Amino acid sequence: MQIIYNGEPREVAEEMTIAELLAELDRPARQVAVELNRELISRDQHVHVRLRPGDEVEVVTLAGGG
């Protein structure tokens, strides 16, 4: 199925959880925060929340900034 990941279309497995998506991205969970359809999903929910086709997912981290 297709989701919108950080503004770009991305193919992911059916019923993938957020935790599974982060594992696929190979990013340490504590260095990122996740929004699903503009709502923050807390870390303890990552294993429970399943993605659906067309979901908009933002995965953000810290970057240099002033």
Alpha-carbon distance values, 32 to 1, 11, 14 (Å): 23, 20, 23
Among 2, 6, 13, 54, binds other proteins (CB under 8 A): 6
Of 9-17, 25-33, 47-55, which segment contacts other proteins by CB under 8 A?
25-33
C-beta atoms surrounding 60 within 10 Å: 11
Q: Does 33 bind other proteins (CB under 8 A)?
A: yes
Encoded tokens for 40: 């923050």
| Encoded amino acid at 64, one letter | G
Q: How many residues bind other proteins (CB under 8 A)?
A: 23
Residues that bind other proteins (CB under 8 A): 6-7, 25, 27, 29-33, 35, 38, 40, 42-43, 58-66
